């Protein structure tokens, strides 16, 4: 199953196109959100070797660290704070080409240079975010946003 995931082959679009059906397969048979977030984080990390891939879930009005792959990270992020809290507040994907240019960026790790944060919705309300950090500048673009938004829609948040 996950062992079949492609690692760094082809263009970014080809890698996402290969990954998408595998993620569909991983999450379609499982209703537990934590299990699905864990596998999605692992699949993205293994495919793209991102520096950090993980989820923050809204709990009692704050984003709390959820399944992730990579170095230890900040556990709680407030509404409107950092890239994650801003994506939550604005309810939209945020691409940050250079984290040093993003006012209020929260540096969980100094190696992070660029970042993308994609919200997950339930009934039009943001209930979690997917956060991906790269140790290269300008790593993320509209292609990442499009595919990661599709991947986030596959995670059916019910609880």
Applying CB under 6 A, the residues found at the interface with ligand SME are: 52, 73-74, 77, 82-84, 105-106, 108, 112, 115, 131, 133
Q: Name the residue with the smallest CB distance to ligand SME.
A: 82
Label residue 71 left, alpha or beta by phi (over 0 means left) and psi (-120 to 50 means alpha).
beta
Supply the minimum distance, in Å, between the C-beta of residue 13 and ligand SME. 25
Q: Looking at beta carbons only, is 112 or 139 nearer to ligand SME? A: 112
Q: Looking at beta carbons only, is 108 or 151 nearer to ligand SME? A: 108
Supply the minimum distance, in Å, between the C-beta of residue 126 and ligand SME. 14
Supply the minimum distance, in Å, between the C-beta of residue 35 and ligand SME. 21
């Amino acid at each position: 199953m996950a062992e079949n995931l492609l690692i760094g082959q082809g263009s970014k679009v080809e890698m996402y196109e290969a990954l998408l059906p595998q993620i569909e397969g991983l999450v379609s048979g499982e209703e537990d959100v934590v299990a699905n977030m864990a596998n999605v984080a692992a699949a993205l990390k293994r495919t793209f070797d991102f520096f950090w891939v993980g989820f923050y879930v809204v709990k009692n009005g704050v984003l709390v660290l959820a399944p992730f792959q990579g170095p230890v990270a900040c556990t709680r992020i407030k509404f409107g704070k950092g890239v994650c809290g801003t994506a939550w507040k604005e309810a939209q994907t945020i691409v940050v080409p250079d984290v040093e240019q993003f006012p209020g960026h929260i540096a969980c790790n100094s190696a992070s240079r660029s970042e993308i944060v994609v919200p997950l919705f339930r009934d039009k309300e943001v209930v979690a975010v997917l956060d991906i950090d790269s140790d290269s500048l300008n790593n993320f673009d509209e292609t990442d946003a499009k595919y990661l938004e599709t991947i986030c829609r596959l995670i059916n948040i019910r609880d």
